[in-house]
Chains A and B, each alone.
Chain A
Amino acid sequence: MRPQLIIRNIGFVLLFNAVFLFFSAAVSAVNGDSALVPLLYSAVVTALIGAFPVVFVPSVENIHNDEGLAIVVGGWLLSSLIGALPYIMWGDPFTLTNAWFESVSGFTTTGSSILTDIEALPLGLLLWRSTTHWIGGIGIIVFMLAVTPTSGQVAMILYKNEISSLAVENFRYRTRKIFQILLIVYVGLTALETICLIFAGMGVFDAITHAFATIATGGFSPRNSSIAYFNSPLIEGIIIVFMILSGIHFALIFLGITENIKKIWKSVIVRYYLAALAIGSILVSINIWGGMYENFREALRYGVFQVVSLGTSTGFATADTSIWPGFSKLILIFFSLQCACAGSTSGGIKIDRVLVLWKRIISHFSKLKHPKAVVAIKLDRTVIDASVVEAGLLYIVIYLCVVFISSLILAFMGVDIMSAFSGSVAAMGNVGPGFGAVGSFSNFGMLPATGKWVLSIVMLLGRLEIFGLLLFLFNRLIR
């Protein structure tokens, strides 16, 4: 392992973050708010520390896989650290723990917040908070690779470590083309949603920050009551559409736009994804109709929004789901675990793996019936390699173990079981809100400091799809 090369590449990541920090500082300066010094100084420090290794260390044409892993994990950790700087410098209510939690939650696109009064934050800081979502949504490294000249081999190793393993399997383009597709779809969807939200009556700042959070499936809103603040079915409708789009494999969206829109629908994964959201929305709407909302239209409006919001791991809120009936809560917890498709900005187990699990169960039954039969597992007419199936199943098991352990630790600290479990599910799936004390209209501020650190590690584990962070931390032991 060559640490200097790792540091050089992380330097690029820092420089990339510094650009966005400078932009937020510029907004703060124009607005004349109190976040100018925290943002500007954070930008200067990040730029200087990032620039030094880039200048000092000569570039190389190749890196090893473990170096790539260290760059990706180190990039995420350092981005979260420098992302916390403006919060720490701004002060109350941002202690070191709170600032780290908010920053990790932003970069991992979780959207869980410690803030009670979000609207009290200056505009520049609110923009930075949403920007962390936008940078983290597509993946810091992917974003960096898309805009910096990097050799193909280096880019491929970094890319494989950054993106969901299933998405890597699904892509069939050259590395540079993949970055272009991701960036075009990502920026295109963000711009389109911003325009739609402005036309629906949202202010420019709100439209931009909400578009950042939607396309990144993050969930940070600059409003205390999230999307409920606007009380507009049109705005909710637009956000629902873009949340659903952000949960689809970006290459499929690209194919649908450039070649044939039917290609999106032809994907089994997308069909299952949409069907699951539709069934979940109807079930929840029926369940909350009568008890929570008098007419079905109201129930449908809130039911659909919350199911899509959690089912895509976005985490916006239009209703307090903590007071919804147990059946609805269970459905929402299922969606918080499953989330959307690989290759999108969504977190969670991902539909691709759920389908692999389902097909594996079917194939197991077939094998029991016909012991000598060779049953291949197919997704979208492609035979899935046995190692991919095994990795997928193992991922689900470890995923649930992490959720269980995290819930156990939180419960040990005195957090009630519903808040501990749903908070862990929300953190691991990068969803955002849970239920109970960490519900859609509450926040994570009341959790003990150690609990916040535990959840921030869980968020990173979820964002880096477990293996990345574990392999980085226990590299020597595993060897």
Chain B
Amino acid sequence: MKIRTKIMLGFLILALMLAVAGAFSIYELRAVGSSVQALLDDNYRSITAAKSMTEALEREDSGMLLLLSGKWKEGRETLRTADKKFIEALETAANNLTIKGEKACVEKISKAYKEYSMLWDQPIVNTPREGNLGWYFKDAHQSFKNVKAAVQELMALNDQAMYETASDLKNRAHRAVMPGVIAILSALVFTILFNYFVNIYIVNPILLLIKSIDNFLNKGEPISVKMDSDDELADLAASVTSLTAMVKTSEDKS
């Protein structure tokens, strides 16, 4: 192989090593970006929906207590707005089923909420239920707690998924950084290796050739440099040997 090709190969390898490291880092960083987006889209949206449902539920519980205390208008108004908010949040959660077990969780909330809303949908004011705290604690509050437990389950499920995604993000960030680190270390090793080979196969033969020429010029010693490689330097050594042999012959003749 010729010197030109060898040197070019050395630089090509160095460039390739760095380019591939860069490409892999970009690939992993893009994956990190996607993971962050997925974290926001998939888990954070569901957690926000679960929080809204909990808030709406608390409001509905207040509305129920207002009805029990005979305040029909305030109670119904509170229930109506809270119900709207809960349904909206539930729909958001139902349209964002991204993790295993989430569908079952949303169905459980839906079923529990249907049972709960049936309790406050029926007339309360001016009925035997008005002021009946026994009914409230036995049926209404129990049903409220069931819905709340199901919503908290959804939140815990998404919290767990969020934690796992965050751990995965940490690993992906590590994988994005590592090609760069390894590329730097490899490039260092490679540079030392390259430098060593350049010395052994290019610089040293040139020095040897120079020394031989000096010896020829000063002491008249014949040039006979043996090259290990089959490249331009070997051709140069052969040419110099021929040249000096010719010079020697012509000197001898004259």
Contacts and interface: CB of A to CB of B under 8 A. Distances in A.
Interface of A: 3-4, 7, 34, 37-38, 40-42, 44-45, 48-49, 51-53, 55-58, 85, 88-92
13 contacts: A4-B197, A34-B175, A41-B21, A41-B182, A42-B182, A44-B16, A45-B182, A49-B186, A52-B9, A52-B10, A56-B197, A56-B201, A90-B175
Contacts of B228: 58
Contacts of A38: 175, 178
A89 B175 contact: yes
**Closest CB pairs A-B (n = 3):** A91-B174, A89-B178, A48-B13
A49 B179 CA distance: 15
B95 interface: no
A91 B171 contact: yes
B27 A52 contact: no
A91 B175 contact: yes
Interface of B: 1, 6, 9-10, 13, 16-17, 20-21, 24, 27-28, 170-172, 174-175, 178-179, 182-183, 186, 189-190, 193-194, 196-197, 200-201, 228-230
A225 B183 CA distance: 37
A58 B9 CA distance: 15
Contacts of A45: 17, 20, 182-183, 186
Contact of B24 (A3, A4, A41, A92): A41
A7 B175 CA distance: 29
A34 B1 CA distance: 40
Contacts of A42: 182
B171 A92 contact: yes
Contacts, number: 81
Contacts of B196: 3-4
Given A45-B17, A58-B228, 10 more contacts: A34-B171, A37-B24, A38-B175, A41-B24, A45-B182, A55-B1, A56-B197, A88-B178, A91-B174, A92-B174
A474 B9 CA distance: 36
A53 B193 contact: yes
Given A88-B178, A90-B175, A53 B21 contact: no
A90 B170 CA distance: 11
Contacts of B178: 38, 88-89, 91
Contacts of B27: 37
Contact of B190 (A49, A57, A58): A49
Contacts of A51: 13
B8 to A, nearest CB: 11
Contacts of A58: 228-230
A52 B175 contact: no
Contact of A55 (B9, B21, B171, B175): B9
Contacts of A55: 1, 6, 9
Contact of B17 (A34, A48, A53, A56): A48
Contacts of A53: 193, 197
A38 B28 CA distance: 11
Contacts of B189: 49
B179 A7 contact: no
A38 B172 CA distance: 11
A91 B174 CA distance: 7
A380 to B, nearest CB: 46
Contacts of B230: 58
A7 B193 contact: yes
A41 B16 CA distance: 11
Given A45-B182, A45-B183, A89-B178, A52 B190 contact: yes
B121 to A, nearest CB: 49
B179 A41 contact: yes
B232 to A, nearest CB: 14
A41 B21 CA distance: 7
A186 to B, nearest CB: 31
B179 A37 contact: yes
B186 A57 contact: no
Given A37-B27, A58-B229, A91-B171, A52 B179 contact: no
Nearest to B6: A56
Contacts of A92: 170-171, 174
Nearest to B198: A56
Contacts of A4: 196-197, 200-201
A41 B17 CA distance: 9
B173 to A, nearest CB: 9
